[in-house]
Structure formats: structure tokens, C-alpha cells
Structure 1
Amino acid sequence: MTSIRLNPARTAVVAMDLQPTILAGVNDQSYQILGKAEKVLAEARKVGALVVHVGVAFRDGYPEVNSRNKMFSAIKERGVLIQGKAGSELHPLSLAESSTVREREPCVYKRRVGAFSDTDLEAILRARDIDTIVLFGVATSGVVLSTLRVAADKDYHCLVVHDACADSDDEVHRVLVEKVFPKQADVLSTEEVIAAFQR
């Protein structure tokens, strides 16, 4: 069991790409992931940590998508993840029930894989003097990996909630959380993160 202690005043919990279209890619795991995410988010709200929601969505016509971008060209071809349209919304289980609480939780939409790419996420974190970020979401090899790499380079103390992440490839997920992420982050379970907030 880890002995990490999280200071809510300096910690942000960043829930990434928990959207129906993306969760469909890990369909058999989606409700397990959402259940774990819900627990971490509930604890963060209880202790007063900053909660930030990150999603990926494009404008009508996909003006942000270059034909050289394999991943996003495939999204454009499928006609999904258009901002404001079904499938691009944040999953209700990740959002606070209270509208007052929801208003305090910034939602950041990106047009690239990583949460820091072309977004105001860093400005939000700096405004609150955040030095620690707790990351989770879908996919492990997508938004989680990309965001962790940049966050570590920006000298944030990073934690990844391994059981609140998923990937369409279970082996890729395993290698990332067991071999790759520990080089730049503390990799914890949902229960360990909750305990770290309670210390």
C-alpha cells in the first residue's frame, strides 16, 4: 500500500475522454471504468480538490482534421465526436449531480490526443496553483499516455489511476501501467487514491 498523501488544495483530478463514443471502444470495461471514476471523483469533490473534465470533439465539417492525421481522419470518416452532437458529451456518471458543483468543474475540449494540446488546461491548473494531477480515462494508450508525458515534462507530480483507465488492447494497457507509466508517475488503484486524499 502506498503512503502518498494528496493535498486537496494543490491537487487536480483530471477525468479524460469519458464520452459515449470513446467508451464504446472498450465496451466490456466501460461501466467498470465509470464506476471507478465515479468513486475517485466523489472523493475529490468531498475533500475539495479541483476536478477537471476533458473531452475530445470537433466542429461541424472537421476543419481541425488534417488528412495526414491517421487517427482523426478515421474519426472524420465515421462522422463522430462533433461538439454538441450525441456521443461527444461527457458521460453523466462522471459529472456531479448538483448543478452548483458542476459549475465549479471546468470542462476542457481538445482537438488532439493529449489534454494539454491546444487547450487552456494548463492555465486552469496554474490559476489554482496545482502541482499534482491525478489522471484517468480512455484510452490508456491515447489521452492518458499523451497527457502524462506532457504533464511530467511540465514538472507536475503525476498519478495515474490504473483501474479507472482502459484500452481496446488489454496487453497495451498492462504494459503501459506496469512498465511505462511508473517511470513518470505513481500508478495507483482507485482505493489507493482515495486513501491518499484521506491521509
Structure 2
Amino acid sequence: MTTHQFIHDFDAKRTALVLIECQNEWLAPNGKLQAVIEDPTQFESAAKGALALLGIARKAQIPVAHVGLQFRSGYPEMGAGGFGLRGAIKQFGTFPEGSDASKFAPGFEPHHDEFVVSGRVGGSAFAGSNLDIWLRNNGIDTVILAGFALHVCVESSLRAAHDLGYYSYLAKDASAAFNAAQRAHVLSDVVPQFGKAVSNADLKSLLLSQEELTA
């Protein structure tokens, strides 16, 4: 893939990596969300891809935002109803505040100079959170989105980023859906409307200098 195929003139200085829910609830063997994963191989591959992408971002010294979920006892943030994702989170009892399940998975622990997003209550990484203002305060106009699950929170974040005016890239090697059909639908039917899907190899060549690539 050549640079002119990207959706704008890519500038690493205005780019941030946004990692979504790289938490134990998804990635640990005892995570409650293991129950909804129909294609474990896809998740394992994406977890390795996300870890590799984080390494690329750190080497390129671009800003990194870690977006998790964490809810107070009784899930007051979700309200009294049981509708959609709000109901599913309460039903599964996922991401309780202060639990090991809500911690970032091994290898994804934020560095001291990386941003941990707070206030999020919805599917999108931007829903109720301080992600948008952090990006704007740092002069970021381009986001690389990765994480879990591709057809739920990552897709919601892609749509929101587009509507907020960001140039949005989906890191396809670092994101997983529950099954292959969901993944194919997002990549073929959704992503082209709101951004562009890119591989780790593409991002490595865009973010790192020739000297860094050969080092």
C-alpha cells in the first residue's frame, strides 16, 4: 500500500494510537468476556497484533491513549434499564471498579507518559470521556484505533471519531470481532464509510523513519 492510498497526508506528528479495552476482561483466560468469543484464534492474533502495534507507536514516539471500562458497584452509570450494551454489561458483571478484570492486560500497561482515558460510559471511546479534549489539546487530527471488540466498541469509536472530524484508521491486525463474519462485515461494509483499514506493516512504514525501520 502506498502513501497516496491513505485518506489524507499522513503526518505522524499529528497522530495518536487509541487502544480500546486491552483489558483482562477480554484477554485473560478467566475473563468473563471469553464466553462471547466464538473465534479464539482471531482474538489471540489480534492481541499479539495490538501488542506489536503498541511497540511500533512507542518506538515512533507518538501519543498513546489507553481506553478502558470500569464501573462502580451496582453499575449506576448504566441506569436502571437493561437495554442493549448497558444491559449486557450489567448482566455479565464485567469491568467492576478496582478488579483485576478491569486492569490493562500484561504488556498493555500504560507507560508514565501515556494517557489513560477516564469518564467513559458508552460503546464509543469518546462517550462521556476526556479522549476528545486530550486529542485536541495535543494537536492530534489523526487516530489509529485498535482493540476489542471490533464490531462493537471499536466500530462505535470509528464512527464517533469520523463525526468529530478526525482522520480515522482502523488497525485491522490489532482488532477482533467475535467471529469471522462480523469481522468481514466491519472491514468491508463499515470502515470505508468512516475511515480506512490498515495493517501493522502499513503503519510501521508510515510512523517510523527509514533509519528506525532498519535499526
User: Above 0.5 in TM-score?
Assistant: yes
Aligned length: 194
The 5 Å alignment of 1:53-132 reads 53-66=66-79, 67-95=81-109, 102-109=111-118, 110-132=120-142
Name the amino acid aligned to 1:21.
E
The equivalent residue for 2:20 is 16
* Partners of 1:18 and 1:138 within 8 A in 2: yes
Per the TM alignment, residue 192 of structure 1 is displaced from its structure 2 partner at its CA by: 1.0
CA RMSD of aligned residues (A): 1.7
Per the TM alignment, residue 73 of structure 1 is displaced from its structure 2 partner at its CA by: 1.9
Distance 1:119 1:14 in 2: 13
Name the amino acid aligned to 2:127.
S
* Partners of 1:140 and 1:165 within 8 A in 2: yes
Distance 2:207 2:129 in 1: 27
Per the TM alignment, residue 20 of structure 1 is displaced from its structure 2 partner at its CA by: 2.0
Distance 1:6 1:119 in 2: 26
SS in 1 for 2:100: coil
Per the TM alignment, residue 8 of structure 1 is displaced from its structure 2 partner at its CA by: 2.6
SS in 2 for 1:114: coil
The equivalent residue for 2:2 is 2
Name the amino acid aligned to 2:114.
E
The equivalent residue for 2:191 is 181
Structure 1, 39-48 or 62-71: larger mean CA deviation: 62-71
Distance 1:129 1:191 in 2: 25
Name the amino acid aligned to 1:91.
A
1:113-139 deviations in whole A, cap 9, x for unaligned? Answer: 100000000111011110100001111
SS in 2 for 1:174: helix
The equivalent residue for 1:37 is 50
Structure 1, 136-145 or 62-71: larger mean CA deviation: 62-71
* Partners of 2:85 and 2:123 within 8 A in 1: no
Name the amino acid aligned to 1:52.
A
The 5 Å alignment of 1:46-57 reads 46-57=59-70
Name the amino acid aligned to 1:111.
V
Specify every segment of 5 or more residues in structure 2 that has no aligned partner in the other structure, as ranges: 28-33, 210-215
Per the TM alignment, residue 154 of structure 1 is displaced from its structure 2 partner at its CA by: 1.3
1:115-169 deviations in whole A, cap 9, x for unaligned? Answer: 0000000111011110100001111111111111111011111110112111113
- With the length of structure 2 as denominator, give the TM-score of the two structures: 0.84
Specify every segment of 5 or more residues in structure 1 that has no aligned partner in the other structure, as ranges: 97-101
Question: What is the percentage of aligned positions where both structures have the same residue?
Answer: 29
Distance 1:46 1:31 in 2: 23
1:165-194 deviations in whole A, cap 9, x for unaligned? Answer: 111132111111122101221211111111
